[in-house]
């Protein structure tokens, strides 16, 4: 099945937002992305403004509707700024669509070809959780700036990057009882497998719990964990998300770096805010995770977490939510061999999230 459903990599993530111009500035100034392409009134596009932002192998698109009737404006109103499209690069967007819909995926955009002087771009899409689309993109016959209708942007020479290299994983929150259905969906429509699964015992605090299964494609390039809330004493972080997002959707995007100290220093200097862990986290760190090649004091200063599995260790840190609603946030991750997701940090992390939830009056 995996061979019948080849996926090359993440192509892009598209965010529907209230103000794409300001969102583009946020991702470029705070995260170090470069605006590489644009469509809007100035390029002849009457209904939507979109900015393409790139860094390393990561491509984001932020889009706003230019009138209240436009579906992008409507969805941004319903969910707040959110990830609306997860796009995967595939060798054949029509075949991917037919394979997936044959196996029960809900049709969203039938195979479509668009072209300009730079060639032909093919895409299609199916429905995922909530209002999120899973798009299949074949850009092997297209050499232009992102897609027909987009104009390349003149790049400024002194643009800074923060060393982010790739999308490591994209996590969804779904309703209570829906996780298994989406696990089956990825397995049946695209041949994904469960890489790892965490039950409510593994992910629980005094107040709340959640369950999670990590789905990945056959090559391990695309990792899509799915969370659902489990019952606890108080409202779980997943329930808070579902309430403010107006249903299921993308909870966090993990971005990889080869130098987390430098990356996080850049992001902090640019004003990005991160979750705080208590200083006690670092007291017996090396006893807990074994030797690491970085000074614990530096990790403590920046608030970077460490975890080890049988393949090595990983370093990770989580931002505060990046819009007014307590929904989407980012993770920065450096893998030094480890293939996990920071299981050893779940408790410290979820307690940090709950402290923020309490401040918001939602715990």
Q: Which chain residues interact with Fe ion by CB under 5 A?
A: 254, 331
Specify the residue, 146 or 198, whose C-beta has the smaller distance to Fe ion: 198
What minimum distance in Å lies between the beta carbon of 223 and Fe ion? 9
Asked if 2 and 218 touch (Cβ cutoff 8 Å), the reply is: yes
What minimum distance in Å lies between the beta carbon of 118 and Fe ion? 35
Q: Within 13 A of 97's CA, how many CA atoms are on the CB side? A: 21
Asked if 34 and 51 touch (Cβ cutoff 8 Å), the reply is: no
Which residue matches tokens 């771009």? 121
What minimum distance in Å lies between the beta carbon of 196 and Fe ion? 12
Residue 326 DSSP one-character state: S
CB count in 10 Å sphere of residue 359:
9
Specify the residue, 203 or 254, whose C-beta has the smaller distance to Fe ion: 254
Specify the residue, 126 or 254, whose C-beta has the smaller distance to Fe ion: 254
What minimum distance in Å lies between the beta carbon of 10 and Fe ion? 15
SS3 355: helix
Distance CA 38, CA 81 (A): 19
SS3 359: helix
Residue 201 DSSP one-character state: T
Distance CA 39, CA 103 (A): 35
What minimum distance in Å lies between the beta carbon of 159 and Fe ion? 27
Specify the residue, 107 or 311, whose C-beta has the smaller distance to Fe ion: 311
What minimum distance in Å lies between the beta carbon of 267 and Fe ion? 16
* Axis crossing angle, helix 93-102 with helix 179-190, rounded to the nearest 10: 130
CA 223 → CA 86, 118, 141, 196, 318, distances in Å?
12, 31, 26, 11, 18
Specify the residue, 125 or 333, whose C-beta has the smaller distance to Fe ion: 333
What the block records as the tokens of 360 is 């918001």
Specify the residue, 11 or 331, whose C-beta has the smaller distance to Fe ion: 331
What the block records as the tokens of 140 is 């092997």
Distance CA 35, CA 174 (A): 32
What minimum distance in Å lies between the beta carbon of 168 and Fe ion? 8
Specify the residue, 81 or 331, whose C-beta has the smaller distance to Fe ion: 331
């Amino acid at each position: 099945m995996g061979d019948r459903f080849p996926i090359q990599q993440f192509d892009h993530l598209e965010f529907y937002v209230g103000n794409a111009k300001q969102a583009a500035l946020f991702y470029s100034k705070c995260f170090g992305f470069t605006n590489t392409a644009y469509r809007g009134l100035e390029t002849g596009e009457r209904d939507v403004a979109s900015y393409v932002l790139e860094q390393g192998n990561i491509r984001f698109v932020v889009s706003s509707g230019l009138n209240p009737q436009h579906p992008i404006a409507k969805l941004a109103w319903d969910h707040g700024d959110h990830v609306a499209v997860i796009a995967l690069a595939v060798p054949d967007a029509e075949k991917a669509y037919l394979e997936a819909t044959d196996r029960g995926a809900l049709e969203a955009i039938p195979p479509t070809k668009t072209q300009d002087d730079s060639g032909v771009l093919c895409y299609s899409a199916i429905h995922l959780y909530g209002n999120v689309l899973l798009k299949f993109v074949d850009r092997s016959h297209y050499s232009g700036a992102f897609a027909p209708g987009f104009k390349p942007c003149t790049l400024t020479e002194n643009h800074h990057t923060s060393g982010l290299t790739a999308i490591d994983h994209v996590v969804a929150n779904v309703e209570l009882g829906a996780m298994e259905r989406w696990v089956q969906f990825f397995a049946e429509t695209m041949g994904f497998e469960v890489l790892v699964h965490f039950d409510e015992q593994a992910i629980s605090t005094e107040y709340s719990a959640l369950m999670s299964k990590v789905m990945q494609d056959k090559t391990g390039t695309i990792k899509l964990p799915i969370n659902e809330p489990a019952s606890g004493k108080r409202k779980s972080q997943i329930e808070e998300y579902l309430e403010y997002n107006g249903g299921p959707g993308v909870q966090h995007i993990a971005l990889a770096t080869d130098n987390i100290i430098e990356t996080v220093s850049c992001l902090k200097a640019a004003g990005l805010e991160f979750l705080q862990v208590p200083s006690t986290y670092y007291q017996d760190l090396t006893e807990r995770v074994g030797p690491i090649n970085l000074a614990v004091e530096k990790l403590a200063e920046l608030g970077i977490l460490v975890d080890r599995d049988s393949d090595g260790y990983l370093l990770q840190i989580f931002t505060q939510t990046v819009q007014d609603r307590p929904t989407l946030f980012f993770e920065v991750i450096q893998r030094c061999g480890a293939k996990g997701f920071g299981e050893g940090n779940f408790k410290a992390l979820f307690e940090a999230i709950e402290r923020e939830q309490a401040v918001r009056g939602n715990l």
